[in-house]
Each structure stands twice: as C-alpha cells, then as structure tokens.
Structure 1
Amino acid sequence: MDLILVRHGDSEAAPGLCVGHTDVPLSSEGFLAIQRLAAHWQGDAPRFLFTSDLRRAQQSAQVFAARFATEPLADPRLRELHFGDWDGRRWDAIVNEDANHYRHWADNWVIQEAPGGESFSDVMRRTGAWLAALLGSTQDNDGVFAVAHAGSIRALLCHALALPPARAFSLQLGYARASRIRYRLGQFEVSYTNASRFEDD
C-alpha cells in the first residue's frame, strides 16, 4: 500500500489562536495552495480518498476529489488533537490565565491531555486504529490518499517510523504539504515528508 498524507491548507484562524477541533474554514491562500499541490498529481487516482471531518480538511479534500473524480470518506480519527477548554482561545491568554495547567501540559504533552481535551497519546491511539483498519482492507498495490492535520499526520508518521511520540515535533509539516508512506511485506517505509509536490519513485 502507498499512503499519501496531505496537511490541509492554511485556515482563516487568527494568528496565535489555539486550533484543534475548532472548525475553521480554509483561507483563500490555503485553498490556492492546495490547488497548486493538486496540480502536481501524476498517475492514477488512489483507491481511497480519506479526510478528517473538520472543515479545513474536508475543503482541501474536495480539491483532490475533483481531480480524482471520487468522493472523500470523512473519518473523525484523522482529526487534529483536541485542546478541549483551550480550543478557539488565544495561546497567550491560555498561558496567562491558565498558567498552572498550561505548564503541566507543556511539560507532559505526550501523556497529559489539555483540560477537557486529549493528549498526543490519544491521537496516537485513534490514528493507529485507523491505520490498522486500513492495512486490513488494502492490497500491496493499492494507493490511498488522506487529508489530515499536523497532529494526526505526525502521529501516523510516528507509527510508520516507530518513532517515540516525544520526537513527533522533529517532523516538520507545513500547510498543503505531502508525505508518503509505503507498506510492503509487513514493514513501513517513509518515502518523503513535507514535500511541496508529489515525488515520483
């Protein structure tokens, strides 16, 4: 199986806003960036096109759906990390107004959930369940495409690379960038990450 992971385009969220499950749309520049990425696609359409069910991912996936002539399959397991009570608030306000909770979370983000939200380990579990289900329903030569978020894509790459979750932020993932994972003979191989265009073999 070849799995292409694309981070959605930039959204209309204000700079400095905590955006996890906050359901913001793509910005005009984010939409254009996704269109530019989609224009580089070569070859056959993938067997499946998945997307997070959050709007910024779904709007990005629709651009690829038009190119592939298929319908995207929305799955909440591909959502961004849920920041709970902090979602939709400014980070500087969170740091100032909820300092104790923020410091504890910042020091233990892998296993510590945001108040009312989830930890990165929670994201690892749900994306891992999605990936396991995918491996159980695809063949070696199948192509799969998924539009998701920085957090969920980092979690999937941690699974593929057997990378400790604490190293997740060593993986750079820009908006409207693509990563490619291959699964052959029971093993994962990461072909590329954070690419501004789809790379050939």
Structure 2
Amino acid sequence: MDLILVRHGDSEATPGLCIGQTDVALSSEGFLSIQRLAAHWQGSAPRFLFCSDLRRAQQSAQIFAARFAIEPLADPRLRELDLGEWDGERWDAIAAKDPVRYRHWADNWVIQEAPGGESFSDVIRRTGAWLASLLGSMADDDLVLTVAHAGSIRALLCHALGLPPAKAFAIGLGHARASRIRYRMGQFEVSYTNASRFEADA
C-alpha cells in the first residue's frame, strides 16, 4: 500500500491563534494552494480518499474529490491535536494568563494534555488506530490519499516509521504539502515528505 498524506491549505485563522480542533475554513489562498497541488498529481487515481472531519481538511479533500470523482471519507481520528480550553485563543494571551500550565505543557507536550484537551501521545494512539484499520483492509498495490493536519500527519509518520514522538517537529510539513510512505513486507519506507508537488512513483 502507498499512503499519500496531504496537509490542508492555509486557513482563515488569524496568525498567532491557537488552532487545534477549532473548526476554521480554508482561506482563498488555501484553496488556491490545494488546487495547484492537485493539478500536479501524477499517475493513477487513488483507490480511496480519506480526510479529517474538520472543515479545512474536508474543503481541501473536496478539491481532490472533484478531480478523481470519488467521495472523501471523513474520520475524526485524523483530526488535529485537541488543545482544549486554549483552542481558538491567542498563544501570547495563553502564556500570559495561564503561565504555569502553559509552561508545563510546553515542556512536556508529548505526554501532557492541554487543559481539557489531549497530548501528542493521544494523537499518535488515535491516528495509529486509523492506520491499523487501513492496513487491515488494503491490498499491496492500493494507493490511498489522506488529507489531514500537521499534528495528525506527524503522528502518523512517527507511528509508521518508529520515530520518537519528541522528534515529531523534525518533520517539516507546510500547508498544501504532500508526503508519501509505502508499506511493504511488514514495514514502512519513506518515498518523500513535505513536497510542493506529487512525485512520480518509483
């Protein structure tokens, strides 16, 4: 199985906001960037198109759905990290009004939940459950396209490749960028990451 992971386009959220599961829409530039990415698709169409059920991911997935004439399958397990009480607030305001909890979370984000939210380890568990169900239902030659978020894609890559969660931010993931991994003989290998266009299958 080949799995292509696409981060949604830029959203309408104001820069500096804490945006986890806050359900913001794509910006006009976000739409355009996903359209440009979709225009550079190479090879056969994916067998399945999955996406997070948050609006910015679903809107991005719809652009691919129109291109391939397939229905996107939304799954909440592909959502961004839940930042709980902080979601939708400005990061500088959070650090100013809740400095102790913010500092503790920032120092221990892999295992520490945001207040009322989840930790990165929680995201690895839920995306890992999605990945396990996918592997159990796909054939070796299936191609799957998935539109999600920086946090959930990093979690999937950590899970698939056995990377320490603390190294997740070593994986660059821009908006409207694609990464491709391949599952063969019981293990994953990386084809490419954070690409501004799809690369031909080797």
- Aligned identity (percent) is 82
Matched, 1:100 2:109: no
The answer to whether the 8 Å contact 2:42/2:199 transfers is: no
- Show CA shifts across 1:55-98 (max 9, x none): 00000000000011100000000000000000000000000000
Aligned length: 201
- Show CA shifts across 1:160-198 (max 9, x none): 221000000000000000000100010100111000000
Stretches (4+) displaced over 3 A? none
1:161, 1:141 → 2: CA distance? 20
Report the alpha carbon displacement of residue 43 of structure 1 after superposing the two structures with TM.
1.9
Report the alpha carbon displacement of residue 44 of structure 1 after superposing the two structures with TM.
1.5
Aligned-residue CA RMSD (Å):
0.5
The answer to whether the 8 Å contact 1:49/1:73 transfers is: yes
2:43, 2:189 → 1: CA distance? 21
Report the alpha carbon displacement of residue 199 of structure 1 after superposing the two structures with TM.
0.7
Write out aligned runs for 1:2-17 (5 A). Answer: 2-17=2-17
2:11, 2:22 → 1: CA distance? 11
Write out aligned runs for 1:162-201 (5 A). Answer: 162-200=162-200, 201=202
Report the alpha carbon displacement of residue 45 of structure 1 after superposing the two structures with TM.
1.1
What does residue 20 of structure 1 align with?
20
Write out aligned runs for 1:128-143 (5 A). Answer: 128-143=128-143
- Show CA shifts across 1:4-53 (max 9, x none): 00000000000000000000000000000000000001221111100000
What does residue 152 of structure 1 align with?
152
What does residue 71 of structure 1 align with?
71
1:81, 1:52 → 2: CA distance? 12
The more displaced of 20-29 and 155-164 is 155-164
1:126, 1:146 → 2: CA distance? 15
> Gaps (5+ residues) in structure 2?
none
What does residue 42 of structure 2 align with?
42
1:96, 1:122 → 2: CA distance? 26
What does residue 86 of structure 2 align with?
86
